[in-house]
Amino acid sequence: MSDESTTPAATPATTEATAEVIGSRTGMFGVHGSGDTSGYGGLVRTVTMPAPTPRPYGGYFDEVVDTLTAALGDAPGGDAAAHGVEKVVVDRDELTLYVRREHLLDVARALRDEPDLRFEMCVSVSGVHYLHDAGRELHSVVHLLSITHNRRVRLEVTCPDADPHIPSLVELYPTADWHERETWDFFGIIYDGHPALTRIEMPDDWPGHPQRKDYPLGGIPVEYKGASIPPPDTRRSYS
């Protein structure tokens, strides 16, 4: 195992000036009305999507992108977008490939099987809900690890609220099974081809997906030593 591949060289991070602004959040939690009990009601933050990173990416990142592009049928150093990679982002010394959902299985298979890539382990699958990212509100984030080459890569795939379908990776990475179930449970992303896409933490009859940004913040009152604590969205605001 080569030491030179374990730590990428310093790379230019994407900046907010070149990033795509998709909305803004107010307060600590981005809620409205009486839901924000943090006292940070005056806080305003922009929500951005990172811009593509120009070459050279640094470290082993260029080699990974070139090898993947070649494995997908393009020439080394060519445009991986022709085979489903929308953009390459290097931020905080981490490599992220934004992949079109219809090409996810082809990209993941190449990353797994190509000898010079060998990302043989799927470490995690998780979800993010960007409420104002029109047409791509739901993001599925996949972390892959190459034990052979001691390298990591992140895949990010998007789908709209109106069509929340993304191909399942279980046929390529069986360890994605429970991760995809949890992401479906909390975000409502439907992983097509999953062998048993059922809830894994919430009850089977639970309404909705509780980690989505449009999910009500409230809940049921909590009893504590005889006192009843109301749900967050019924408390007073401290802003």
Which helix (H) or strand (E) segment holds residue 20: the answer is: strand 20-26
User: What are the boundaries of each domain within the chain?
Assistant: 3-234
DSSP alpha helix (H) spans, 98-228: 104-113, 176-187
Q: At the topology level of CATH, where does 3-234 sit? A: Beta Polymerase; domain 2 (3.30.460)
**Each residue's pLDDT tens digit, 8-23:** 544 444 444 478 898 8
Contact 69, 117 (CB under 8 A): no
State whether residue 81 is helix, strand or coil. Answer: helix
Q: How confident is the model at residue 3 (pLDDT cuts 50, 70, 90)?
A: very low
Report if pTM > 0.85: no
- Residue 7 DSSP SS3: coil
Q: Please list, in sequence order, all residues whose beta carbon lies within 8 angstroms of the beta carbon of residue 27, skipping any fewer than 6 positions away.
A: 36, 38, 40, 41, 42, 43, 239
Q: What is the band of 133 on the pLDDT scale with cuts at 50, 70, 90?
A: very high
pLDDT tens per residue across span 42-74: 888 888 889 999 999 999 999 999 999 999 885
pLDDT of 86 above 60 = yes
User: Is the alpha carbon torsion for 184, 190, 194, 195 positive or negative?
Assistant: positive
User: What's the CA gap between 178 and 198, in Å, rounded?
Assistant: 9
Mean pLDDT of the chain: 85
Least confident of 37-51, 161-175, 186-200: 37-51
Of residues 23 and 235, the one with the higher pLDDT is 23
